[in-house]
A and B are shown apart, each in its own frame.
Chain A
Amino acid sequence: MTQISLTDEQILETVSDALLTLANVGYGDYSTRLHVDPNDQSPLASLYAGINEMIASLSAEQSKSQSYQAELEEKLATIEKQRAAIRELSTPIMEVWDGVLCLPVVGVMDTARSAEMTSSLLQAVVEKKTRCTIIDITGIDVMDTRTVDHFMRMARAVRLLGAECVLTGINPHIAQTVVQMGIDLSNVVTHRTLHEALQQYVERSVR
């Protein structure tokens, strides 16, 4: 190995070059590289090559973690969208006829869901200038007494807003719960099926 002697000035210059590049890396710029003369065998040249290698692998890691982060953020956005979709799907409100809202309820009915339903239904009644709302609970097997009570309150609140409230699809077990609770049902119109309720409303409004 041939020894190449450098002047102090040259050494200082190379070192300051290296420091400048490292400073760039420190600020997040991974694009700069130190110039290496392939014929140069000096220790400084191999230091340069080492630094370049380090920057290259750092930049690869950096771009990898950036893409992971982007992926993660995208997934989080998807989860947020799905959450909104679940909320919306768990209380679907549709306008099945002019001025008639239908609220089909399926699945497990707990207190949180009944509260959520009330607020979205009352809001929809006002927004859509509804005259009649049909709450169909064919898809519900059981309800706790408190939830049944809340349903009746919801029906009364709908009436306060100037719309009719019709309950349909009550199964025998829920009917028993309602009767056992001694709830006054005179304010609430009930029909066996959604079909019947809608038919009656349409016939009445045609006349």
Chain B
Amino acid sequence: MPVCEVRDPVDVFHVQRSVSKAAAALGFEKRACSELAIVGSELASNILKYGVSGHVEIAAVEDEHGPGIALVATDRGPPFRNLDAAMRDGWDDRGPIDPVDMLKRKGIGGGLGAIARLSHSFRVEQLDGGKRIHVVRYLVPPRKKRRSERTKA
């Protein structure tokens, strides 16, 4: 499974394509592939926006929830100041984003929320000089999405 370097806006397209291709190869239906492409896109554009540069790793996983696809985004940017705030739609890690800034920043503060909504497990790891976001989506959705798993680092 590929590792996509993210340094340039064009790489976001590359991540989208690689993720949806990998998902299709793992047997995800078309809609799930499109949703995963959005997840990949958000991960990659977050790397560009906040993390300077990094990469997105795509891998097949298999655990107690069955087979699935894992996307791991690593960047060299500053850690989240406040993860709970960053997860909220319309917010970044400092608080609500001014609507005027939304146009300038080319974002609406919904990326992390979208990633969590379109996946089954979401975990953030703060690294020395960077951060890593682990996302898993299973072929068959697990019965219950555990909240603690989604929000805790």
* Cβ–Cβ < 8 Å partners of B111 in chain A: 110-112
- Residue among A86, A110, A115, A116 with max Cβ neighbours from chain B (10 Å): A110
* B-side interface residues, number (CB < 8 Å): 32
* A-side interface residues, number (CB < 8 Å): 26
**B120 CB to nearest A CB, Å:** 15
- Residue A14, interface by CB 8 Å: no
From the candidates B34, B106, B109, name the one contacting A142 in the complex (CB within 8 A). Answer: B34
Q: Hey, what's the 0/1 contact readout for A82-93 against B, CB within 8 Å counting as 1?
A: 110011000000
- Residue B59, interface by CB 8 Å: no
Q: Hey, what's the 0/1 contact readout for B1-42 against A, CB within 8 Å counting as 1?
A: 000000011101100100010000000001100110110011
Nearest opposing residue in chain B for A141, CB measure:
B34
Nearest opposing residue in chain B for A111, CB measure:
B110
- Residue B93, interface by CB 8 Å: no
* Cβ–Cβ < 8 Å partners of A143 in chain B: 38
A110 touches B114 (CB 8 A): yes
* Cβ–Cβ < 8 Å partners of A86 in chain B: 9-10, 13
Mark the stretch among A3-11, A28-36, A126-134, A145-153 that contacts chain B.
A145-153
Which parts of B100-153 form the interface with A (CB within 8 Å)? 102-103, 105-111, 113-114, 117-118
* Cβ–Cβ < 8 Å partners of B114 in chain A: 110-111, 144-147
**B33 CB to nearest A CB, Å:** 8
From the candidates A87, A108, A111, name the one contacting B108 in the complex (CB within 8 A). Answer: A111
CB contact under 8 A between A110 and B38, given known A83-B10, A115-B103, A146-B110: yes
**A4 CB to nearest B CB, Å:** 64
CB contact under 8 A between A142 and B113, given known A112-B106, A112-B107, A150-B108: no
* Cβ–Cβ < 8 Å partners of A150 in chain B: 108, 110
From the candidates A108, A110, A141, A146, name the one contacting B89 in the complex (CB within 8 A). Answer: A146
Bound-state CA distance A193–B103 (Å) is: 29
* Cβ–Cβ < 8 Å partners of A82 in chain B: 10
Bound-state CA distance A142–B35 (Å) is: 6
Which A residues lie at the B interface, using CB under 8 A?
Answer: 82-83, 86-87, 107-116, 118-119, 141-147, 149-150, 173
**Given contacts A110-B41, A112-B42, could you give 17 more A-B pairs where the C-beta distance is less than 8 Å?**
A86-B13, A108-B16, A110-B38, A110-B45, A111-B110, A111-B111, A116-B106, A141-B30, A143-B38, A144-B113, A145-B114, A146-B89, A146-B90, A146-B108, A146-B117, A147-B108, A150-B110
Which B residues lie at the A interface, using CB under 8 A?
Answer: 8-10, 12-13, 16, 20, 30-31, 34-35, 37-38, 41-42, 45, 49, 89-90, 102-103, 105-111, 113-114, 117-118
Can you list 26 A-B contacts with CB-CB less than 8 angstroms, sorted by A residue number? Answer: A83-B8, A83-B9, A86-B10, A108-B37, A108-B41, A109-B38, A110-B111, A111-B45, A111-B107, A111-B108, A112-B41, A112-B42, A112-B106, A113-B41, A115-B102, A115-B103, A115-B106, A116-B106, A118-B103, A142-B31, A144-B38, A146-B89, A146-B108, A146-B110, A147-B108, A149-B89
